[in-house]
């Protein structure tokens, strides 16, 4: 059976308070006593239990990332950034995967907050409606938003409208008129914003927009942000609108599928993705870069700052995404210079 602080105290001939102090780096323990305690503790493999410590001290040293889907490159990069920061600060990471849909989605989010299994929460790509955000605001719990923003919450996000605008405008400026867009689940907020940016580019260019050129794949798995989603979307776009002459794609992962579709259908048009996941550089995909790792790490820092100082001013950081041109838009520059 696992031993407790009482066992250690008994075997070491001290009180439990002393054992506790040894493990809390409190200095007020004589070197001799400390060694004695450490020795017994080591002999039975003792270490204070996280939950009991949490209850008694109200310090958990844990922050929780709340994500809508696991196993997605975007989250993976963000989690990497979070983890880097956390490790260096001695915190632990819990991950809660919200699986519900509709009302139950919000219920799950609310539930996880209430359970208080962490001292702070990082909401990654959690998109709620205003009522729900307001409701969440009432809980006395530090939350910082990543890939989303709402008044009253600390947040770290990227300007999706601008990112999509820049990509589309670049294509338009290069002389392409029938620029398509591969979208994903349209109820997702980033997608809404990217569509907005796409439209805006047409408006500013005074080029008529054909809404039918916005297509999305045949799958809602992972909200459509999959290779398959991009493949079927591109397939559809080419088959239905053969006049499409360039394409903006909502994510790099979909772009991987779109590239394959073009290859299979023996067609090649300039393509710009979104995210700049690591492989993009290697497959020569032009894209709109989101600084995912940085976002994770900055958000974590923001959260910890908030935890330390409840009263501090709310910080809403919004990055401007950066367009990166590679092989998949070869020739673009040439044309745009004419």
Partner DNA sequence: CTGAAAGCGCTTACAG
DSSP letters spanning 169-210: HHHHHTT-S-EEEEE--TTSHHHHHHHHHHHHHHHHHT----
CB of 141 to DNA, least distance (A): 14
Q: Where are the beta strands (DSSP E) in 72-185?
A: 92-97, 120-124, 143-146, 154-158, 179-183
Residue 138's SS3 state is coil
Alpha-carbon distances, residue 49 vs 53, 60, 220 (angstroms): 6, 11, 42
| Contact string 12-51 vs a second copy (x = CB under 8 A) | ---------------------------------xxxxxxx
Residues numbered 259 to 318 that lie near a second copy (CB under 8 A) are 259-260, 278-279, 281-284
Contacted by 76, from a second copy, DNA, none: CB < 5 to 8 Å by type: a second copy
Nearest CA-CA partner of 143 in 85, 67, 87, 65: 65
Query: What letter would DSSP give residue 287?
Result: E
Residues numbered 109 to 168 that lie near a second copy (CB under 8 A) are 110-111, 114-117, 138-140
Query: What letter would DSSP give residue 313?
Result: P
Residue closer to a second copy (CB basis): 61 or 322:
61
> Does the protein bind DNA through residue 118 (CB under 7 A)?
no
Span from 18-26, 93-101, 262-270, 285-293 in contact with DNA (CB under 7 A): 18-26
Question: At a CB cut-off of 8 Å and minimum separation 6, what does 12 contact?
Answer: 18, 19, 33, 36, 37, 39, 40
Give the count of alpha carbons within 13 A of 123, CB side only. Answer: 25
Nearest CA-CA partner of 184 in 294, 327, 74: 74
Quick check: 292 and 75 in contact, CB under 8 A?
no
Among 11, 29, 106, 172, binds DNA (CB under 7 A): 29
By CB under 7 A, how many residues form the interface with DNA? 31
Residues numbered 43 to 82 that lie near DNA (CB under 7 A) are 46, 48-49, 52-53, 55-59
* Residue ranges binding a second copy (CB under 8 A): 1-2, 45-52, 54-55, 60, 70-71, 73, 76-77, 79-80, 83, 86-87, 92-97, 99, 110-111, 114-117, 138-140, 226-227, 231, 253, 256-257, 259-260, 278-279, 281-284
Q: Which residues bind DNA (CB under 7 A)?
A: 2, 4-6, 13-18, 20-21, 23-24, 27-30, 32-34, 46, 48-49, 52-53, 55-59
């Amino acid at each position: 059976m696992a031993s407790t602080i009482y066992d250690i105290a008994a075997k070491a001939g001290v009180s439990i308070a002393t054992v506790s102090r040894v493990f809390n780096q409190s200095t007020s323990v004589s070197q001799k006593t400390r060694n004695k305690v450490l020795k017994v503790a080591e002999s039975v493999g003792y270490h204070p239990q996280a939950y009991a410590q949490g209850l008694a001290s109200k310090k958990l040293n844990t922050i929780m990332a709340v994500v809508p889907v696991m196993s997605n490159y975007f989250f993976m990069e963000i989690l990497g950034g979070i983890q880097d920061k956390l490790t260096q600060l001695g915190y632990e990471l819990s991950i809660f995967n919200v699986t519900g849909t509709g009302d139950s989605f919000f219920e799950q989010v609310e539930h996880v907050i209430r359970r208080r299994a962490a001292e702070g929460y990082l909401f990654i790509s959690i998109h709620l409606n205003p009522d729900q955000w307001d409701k969440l605001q009432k809980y006395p719990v530090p939350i910082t938003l990543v890939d989303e923003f709402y008044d009253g919450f600390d947040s770290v996000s990227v300007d999706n409208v601008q990112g999509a605008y820049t990509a589309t405008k670049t294509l338009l400026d290069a002389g392409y008129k029938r620029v398509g867009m591969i979208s994903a689940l349209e109820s997702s907020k980033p997608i809404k914003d990217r569509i907005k940016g796409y439209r805006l580019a047409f408006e500013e260019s005074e080029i008529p927009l054909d809404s039918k050129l916005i297509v999305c794949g045949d799958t809602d798995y992972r909200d459509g942000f999959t290779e398959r989603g991009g493949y079927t979307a591109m397939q559809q776009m080419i088959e239905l609108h053969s006049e499409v002459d360039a394409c903006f794609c909502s994510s790099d992962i979909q772009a991987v599928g779109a590239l394959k579709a073009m290859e299979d259908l023996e067609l090649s048009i300039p393509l710009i993705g979104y995210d700049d996941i690591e492989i993009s550089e290697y497959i020569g995909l032009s894209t709109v870069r989101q600084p995912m790792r940085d976002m994770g790490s900055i958000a974590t820092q923001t959260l910890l700052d908030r935890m330390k100082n409840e009263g501090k001013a709310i910080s809403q950081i919004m990055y401007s995404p950066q367009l990166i041109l590679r092989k998949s838009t070869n020739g673009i520059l040439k044309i745009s210079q004419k």
